[in-house]
Amino acid sequence: MSGVPDGVQRFTAPLTGHAIFLVVTVSDQAVDGIRDVLRDLGGLVQTVRFRDPGDGLSCTVGIGSRMWPTLVGGPSPRELHPFTPVVGAVHTAVATPGDLLFHIRGDRADLCFEFERLLVAALGDGIQVEDETSCFRSFDRRDLLGFVDGTANPVGTDAADSVLVGDEDPAFAGGTYIVVQKYLHPLDRWQALPTEAQERIMGRTKADNVELDDATSGQKSHKTLATIVDDAGVEHDIIRDNMPFGRPGHAEFGTYFLGQSRALWVIETMLRRMFVGDPPGVHDRLLDFSVPKTGSTFFAPSAGLLSTLGDAVDAPAAASPIVEASPTSLGIGANRAPVSQEV
């Protein structure tokens, strides 16, 4: 494929009807082949997308810090590092393995499925699937807890300003940091709560999706804890592509969280405020009903950089070997050193 491909790295695209989140680890021997697949990801998307151009099928790939030196070469994006567990007094945001994230989106489940099938075949034996979650849009963009999810996402130029790296890291301009977490909900316990209690936890009314006032002290709502204002009074937004998933026959009900930001510290601060609490010890009550089973961090390069991936492999910084150990299992636990509990 020539030029910057369409259909890949569409960070600010609106929510679709379906999404598949595929997280894999890569064996070191397979890096060259994987790089070829990523460079032509746009061509692979087009192979499927052409069959229904109205569907808007797209794929975003994120690359984890462990893979960056060998897969991309040159210096890494300046904030890129592995997901660090966030340990609160009651709940922990776990870290799980992930060298690559594929965020496949479209309005037709069959196109998403077909693209994933071709993608996995192209990636070959050099990958190990760590997590694969197929999601759907539920009613008027509600999560399985029954709340409209995504309302506060920035739109238009605000969206691009919030997620696209700019002059602060010019070599990676146009890319974005991505954090994913797969949450499971004990739905029976949540549904046993009165609606007013659920609304206080979320910070919005359930039926009408209207914001409630922020508490300034004591227990704060999810919405308030996830609002990040810096010392200069500037609010830092992220784009969330949360999607529901589940298997009622297995009593499995979940939310796949995906957050994109031009600055990784913004998402990490949100996680600290949720898990450790603000003030520390007063955690986000949403976590009493949402258990994170995975947690991984990636940098998604711009479409242009993706199509030339590896051109910097021979650059001096690429000489450094892979140094960070990958977590070895998807189990809950502190696979990495916990972050500071300061908020």
Which residues of the shown chain bind ligand HEM in the complex (CB under 6 A)? 143, 145, 147, 149-152, 181, 183, 202, 204, 222-223, 226-227, 238, 240, 242, 255, 257, 259, 267, 270-271, 290
Decide whether 202 or 313 has the Cβ nearer to ligand HEM: 202
Task: Please tell me the distance from the alpha carbon of residue 102 to that of residue 47, in angstroms, as a whole number.
Answer: 17
Q: Between the CA of residue 55 and those of 18, 20, 127, 186, what are the distances in Å? A: 11, 15, 28, 33
Decide whether 113 or 265 has the Cβ nearer to ligand HEM: 265
Task: Please tell me the distance from the alpha carbon of residue 250 to that of residue 265, in angstroms, as a whole number.
Answer: 36
Residue written as token pair 């009074």 = 233
Nearest approach, Cβ of 237 to ligand HEM (angstroms)? 7
Q: Which residues of 202-221 are buried (b: 16+ CB within 10 A; e: fewer)?
A: bbbbbeeeeeeeeeeeeebb
* Pair 294, 131: CB distance under 8 Å: yes
Nearest approach, Cβ of 320 to ligand HEM (angstroms)? 30
Nearest approach, Cβ of 39 to ligand HEM (angstroms)? 31
Q: Which of 131, 143, 149, 169 is flagged as catalytic?
A: 149
Decide whether 64 or 244 has the Cβ nearer to ligand HEM: 244
Nearest approach, Cβ of 118 to ligand HEM (angstroms)? 30
Nearest approach, Cβ of 338 to ligand HEM (angstroms)? 16
Decide whether 92 or 290 has the Cβ nearer to ligand HEM: 290
228 DSSP β-pair partners: 236
Q: Catalytic: 169?
A: no
Decide whether 187 or 202 has the Cβ nearer to ligand HEM: 202
The residues carrying an active-site annotation are 149
